[in-house]
Each structure stands twice: as structure tokens, then as C-alpha cells.
Amino acid sequence: MNNSLKQYIELYDSNLEAINAHSAPQLNALRQEARKALEGITLPRKGSDDYEATDLNAVLAPNYGVNINHVDLSRESTTKFRCEVPNLSTCLYYVFNDTFRPSSTAGKSGDKASVESFQTTTHKDVLERYYGSVAKLNNPCTALNTMLAQDGVLIYVPKGSCTTRPIQLINVFDANAQLMAVRRLLIVLEDDAQAQVLVCDHTKGDQQYLSLETVEVIAGRNAHLDYYHMEESGMGTTRLSQLWARQDEGSNVLIDGITLTNGYTRNDYHIDIDGAHCDTQLLGMAIASQEQHIDNHTLINHNAPRCQSNEMFKYVLNDKAIGAFAGKILVKPNCPKIDAYQGNRNIVASPTARMYTKPQLEIYTDDVKCSHGSTVGQLDQEALFYMQTRGISLPVAQKLLMQAFMSDVIDGVRLDSLKERLRHLVEMRLSGDEAMCNSCELKK
């Protein structure tokens, strides 16, 4: 076991009574199992294989504070903070550090859909049935999250229901000292349910923060889910996120991870397609500069026949930024008629930036159509020269080409207002401006 994990196990052992006392009871049931799993886990180190670019042992080594007594540490309120998408009316909720708060627009996503904290949910049966049902404890970050999590957010859409407005959940770091926030999100769409979810990450101040996040998604038969995650955090923020999804027959799931500003980020996506006739879209984009680090690992398991999946991740790296992508599409035996594509396209705009990529296909059945591809390159010099001959300055030409490079990932967004907002934020980010809303007080 690594010392970085050992310190958290010792913290857990010394404070077990307090952790359980300030936690939702359903979370306590898996805590000991998660602790046991951590005892046999060794964290991967940077360079441990030819694509491992995140040294989890080093990332978890600092002694971050953990809010064991689950005190509301936030100095902000929902009336001060804004995270607005023009022309998009959402049902707005917040997680300040690790504390859930609804806003004045909460509870308007549809009469039957609910967004609640684990501790106060009226759907305890749903939480008991699905919490921990998808996320696997052999993953070190998920096991650590399960051992320490005391609360979370449940988004529940019952059978045949549809949210009338997108659900927006804003994660905010705001504390007087360095802090680890152990965040948990459970999204359950029963058969024939529909929902659109937008999650945004923001940071206030210059503190060192660690976001340890696990998301579980259950999409029932013929359910439709759009899940977008946008990170606009600070250089002092480390984010370790695990997303686990399970799709039943006929479900349609879009997952889109967007990193506009960050410090050190590792996102893992695990999708199990367990029913026939499913459609899966897994998209991602990252813009990194200075010494930012963004690492995406993906696994799509095709466990049923007659499904299609499309995966595309794009990066633009500048200065001394580091990007990494490791993705696998796995087609199990007796799963014919699979149409799957995986792509990773990258622009390295600086000689000191680095990109590591490893796309993979693993196929154990016949009659499938699967392909993958990866490219790492610079901006097209001929296109830059042509644009300059037409009177466009080099910086503007570079920005236009990078915007065009990201266009197909942006076009995959199925909320028109969010799509236009994302175009604007990408333009701001590539221009060197802060990609934040003008009304956002976090930058003040």
C-alpha cells in the first residue's frame, strides 16, 4: 500500500464513529468493504507503463483537510454566485465544498423528478438499491471516495418521466484552508425516463483543493440522458473524477467532459452497455496552458449485441501543459453487430507541451465494425500562411484554426444554448481570457 493511501486509512480508523454519525446511513454500509479494498491496492506511478501520465501516489500525498464533522465551511451563498448559460433556464443546485444547497430555481425540473442530498432524500429505497451498484471498489479513487463520502446528490427520474428543464449542479470550492471535498453523485433514470444534466466546477481563491469525485449513472430501458461536465477551476485545484455508467436496452446516453481551466485533472470514464440497441456518445475536450495537466482514461464495455458507440476526445496544449488520453473499447464474446469508433485528436502548440495517447480496441466476436485513430500535431502551416496572405494576423489565424479544430466536439452538444455558450467560452480561453461568466463573483 502507498503511504498516501495509508494516511487516509489511518484517518478513517481514528474517526470512524464521527464519519458514520455525520453520514447518510446508506453510505455506511459500503465503508468497511471500501477500506478493505484499499489495503490491497497499489497506486500507479507516472511512467509505470507507456501511457500512465498521472502519478496518483504523488497527487494524494499532501495532507489535505477532510471535513469529517460535515460542517458547512462555505463563505458564499447561492444568492451571490452565478453560473449562467444565456437563453438556458435551468433548475439550479449547488455543492459548496461538500455541502448540498438548492437555489431559488430548484425543484422546477418536473413534478416527478427529484434532486436531493443523500441525507435528506425522500427516495431512500432508490439510494439503497443503486448506491455503489455500478462503481467498482477495485479502482483506488472510487474506493477512497466510498470509504470517506458522507453525503452526495441523488438525481432521480422515475419511469416514463421527463425533466421539463435541464438540471444544473454547480460544485464550488470556497474555504479558508486547503481542503479535500469528497463528492458523490448518483443519477438514476428509470425505464423511458429523460433528463439533461449540466455539472460545473468552480474554485474561489488561491487555496490548494482536492476534488475526489465519483459519479454513478444508471440508464434504464429506453432512457435518454445528456450529461455535461465543465471544469473551470484554478491552478491550485486537483480533480480526481470517476464516472461509472450502466445502460440498459435501448437507452441513449451522451457524456461530454469539458476542461477549460484547471490545475491537475484526472478523469476516468467507465461505461457498461448491458442491453441491445443502445446508443452511446462519449465526448471530451481540453484546453491547457502554463503547467496544467489533463488526463482522460476511458473504457467502453460492449456487453450486448446491436449497439453503437462514438467516442472523441480533443486537446489543445500550449506552454508546458501536459495532456494524456488512454481509451479502450472492449467488445465481449457473442456481441455481434457492434458499430464503435474511438478518436483522439491533439494539437500541441508549443515545443514544451507534451501529449501522451494510447487508443485501444479489444474485440472477441465477429461481425462488428470497430475502428480507432489518434493524431498529435501542430497547426497547419500552409493554412496559417494562406490566412496571413489575406490580412489575418498570426495570433488571430492560430485562434481561428484552434476553434475550428474543436468544432465537431462542440457540435456534439445537444443543448443549443449550451453549445453557443461553449463556443464563446472556447473563444475566450483561446484568446487568453478567463473563460468565466461576467456575473460570476468567484473571479472578483
Instruction: Give the residue-averaged pLDDT of 387-404.
Output: 85
pLDDT for 133 beyond 60: yes
- Residue pair 258/230 in contact by the 8 Å Cβ criterion: yes
Residues β-bridged to residue 231: 201, 259
47-83, pLDDT tens digit by residue? 555 455 678 888 999 888 888 988 877 666 555 566 6
The pLDDT of residue 400:
86
Question: What pLDDT, on a 0 to 100 scale, did the predictor assign at position 84?
Answer: 65
> Are the C-beta atoms of residues 204 and 76 closer than 8 Å to each other?
yes
Contact of 5 with 60, CB cutoff 8 Å: yes
Helix H or strand E segment including 388: helix 381-389
Question: Poorest-confidence range of 109-113, 121-125, 409-413?
Answer: 109-113
Q: 69-104: string of b/e by CB count within 10 Å (b at 16+)?
A: ebeebbebebeebebebeebebbbbbbbbbbbbebe
Note the pLDDT tens digit of each residue in 159-216: 999 998 999 999 999 888 899 999 999 999 999 999 999 999 999 877 899 999 999 9
Burial class (CB in 10 A: 0-12, 13-18, 19+), 137: buried
- Residue 83 or residue 24, greater confidence: 24
pLDDT, residue 50, reads 47
Read off the pLDDT of each residue in 20-47 and give the average, rounded to a whole number: 88
Q: Exposed/middle/buried for 265, CB within 10 Å: 0-12, 13-18, 19+?
A: buried
Instruction: Supply the pLDDT for residue 360.
Output: 94
Torsion angle, alpha carbons of 225, 201, 111, 247, to 10: 20
CA Rg value for the chain: 21
> How high is the pLDDT of residue 415?
92
Q: What average pLDDT does this structure show over 326-353?
A: 96
Coil/strand/helix, residue 444: coil
User: Where are the chain's structural domains?
Assistant: 3-275, 380-444
325 closest CA partner among 347, 345, 295: 295
Percent of the chain, pLDDT > 90?
69
Mean pLDDT of 209-227: 98
Judge whether residue 439 has pLDDT over 60. Answer: no
